Amino acid sequence: MLKQRVITALILAPLALFAILFLPLFGFEILIAAVVALGAWEWANMSGYTSKLAKSIYTGLIVGICAALTFTVPIETIWHHGQLSGLYRLILGIAAAWWGLSLLMIIAYPKYSVFWRNSRVIRAVFGILTLIPTWVAVVSLRTSLYDVDPYYGASLIFYVLGIVWAADIGAFFVGVKFGRHKLRPNVSPGKTLEGLLGGVGASSAIIAFAALHYQVDPTRIWMHVLIGGLTVGVSALGDLNESMFKRCAGLKDSGTLLPGHGGVLDRIDSLTAAFPVFAFCYVLWMA
């Protein structure tokens, strides 16, 4: 299982790297829309739309919204004088609110879940709130300061990927190698203090490195740290949120598309939370 996982990752990673760095912006928009579309296909399934037709319609709807956004806000006008387009701002704001609500839903679960549990429509809407902002966030970050430095936006995307993955990878490897002190052996036996510290340490290292790389002003460094920390935390929220919906749908993996990894959504669930929230903070406080 781990071997298959690593092989899949090794094939996908260079492709992703190439796409983020070198794809022309329009091509990049299409590619991200394609990834989001795969996620939409699986989300439809999780929402209870199991027929091929219904899944196609839902996926079509998501792709349609991405396309509509592409045409209402042409690439050159996504950023104007260092300001993100009002529509994109609004979408990121809604996304931030949605993840706040989602945190409350998880804390309260299963209380109040009757409101959305039995309604396919509401769950489908949740999917739109999760997937569309992800597309908007990734595209906004990629096009940020493109005129000044075509790779600046790419570096932001790598930064977010870095913090999110460092947390998981650090936790996994440090936990396996040094994990001795179990945090709550009677509740979640797999979690160790060392694993948690490994994740925290790895993310912190990435955040500290970014602070040096972007030469963050000392008076604003706490902001940088806070946003980094928030991104780490919120990525775990994306994970939990998807698990909650999967549990309602009675599924283990969201799909079978990626050998060893389950579905596309299982791979990008943490990113669907991390990207919109990071982009929202970035637009508000860092850009």
Partner 1 sequence: MIDFLWSLGSFIVALGLLVAVHEWGHFFVARKCGVKVERFSIGFGKALWRTKDSQGTEYVIAAIPLGGYVKMLDERVDQVSEADLPHAFNRQSVYKRIAIIAAGPITNFLFAILALFIMYLIGLDTVKPVIGKIEPNSIAAQAGLEPNSQFSRIGNRETVDWEAVNFELISAIGEKSLPVEILLPNGQKQEKVLLLDNWKFDPDKVSALTSLGISAYRPEATTELAFIAKHSGADAAGLKVGDKILAIDGTPMQNWEQIVGYIEQRPDSDVTITISRDGVNIELPATVGNRKHADESDKLVGVLGIVSKARPWPESYLFTHHYDPLGAFVKASEKTWRLMTLSVEMIGKLLTGDVSVKNLSGPISIAQGAGTSAGYGLVYFLSFLALISVNLGIINLLPLPVLDGGHLLYYFIELLTGKPVPEQVQDIGFRIGGVLLLLLMTIAIVNDVARL
101 binds partner 1 (CB under 8 A): no
19, 61, 128, 225: which one binds partner 1 (CB under 8 A):
225
Site for partner 1 in 150-169 (CB under 8 A): 167
258 binds partner 1 (CB under 8 A): no
184, 212, 215, 250: which one binds partner 1 (CB under 8 A):
184
Supply φ then ψ for residue 177, to 5 degrees. -80, -45
Please report where in the chains the tokens 């999760």 appear, as a residue.
Answer: 130
CB-CB contact of 89 with 77 (8 Å): no
Among left, alpha and beta (phi > 0; psi -120 to 50; other), residue 74 is beta
CB-CB contact of 144 with 100 (8 Å): no
Q: How far is the CB of 236 from partner 1 (least distance, A)?
A: 4
Q: How far is the CB of 197 from partner 1 (least distance, A)?
A: 7
Q: How far is the CB of 118 from partner 1 (least distance, A)?
A: 22
Q: What is the distance of C-alpha 120 from the center of its chain?
A: 23
CB-CB contact of 215 with 254 (8 Å): no
35 binds partner 1 (CB under 8 A): no
Binding window for partner 1 (CB under 8 A); candidates: 44-52, 118-126, 128-136, 235-243: 235-243
CA distances from 172 to 2, 5, 128, 274 (A): 12, 14, 31, 19
15, 68, 97, 226: which one binds partner 1 (CB under 8 A):
226
108 binds partner 1 (CB under 8 A): yes
230 binds partner 1 (CB under 8 A): yes
> 171 CB contacts (<8 Å, ≥6 apart)?
195, 196, 198, 199, 202
Q: How far is the CB of 102 from partner 1 (least distance, A)?
A: 11
Cα gap 206→214, rounded to integer Å: 12
Q: How far is the CB of 258 from partner 1 (least distance, A)?
A: 23
CB-CB contact of 59 with 37 (8 Å): yes
Beta strands (DSSP E) in the chain are 79-80, 83-84, 182-184, 188-192
Binding mask 188-217 for partner 1 (x = CB under 8 A): x--x----xx-xxx-xx--xx---------
Contact set with partner 1 (CB under 8 A): 103, 106-109, 111, 167, 182-188, 191, 196-197, 199-201, 203-204, 207-208, 218-223, 225-226, 228-230, 232-234, 236-237, 240
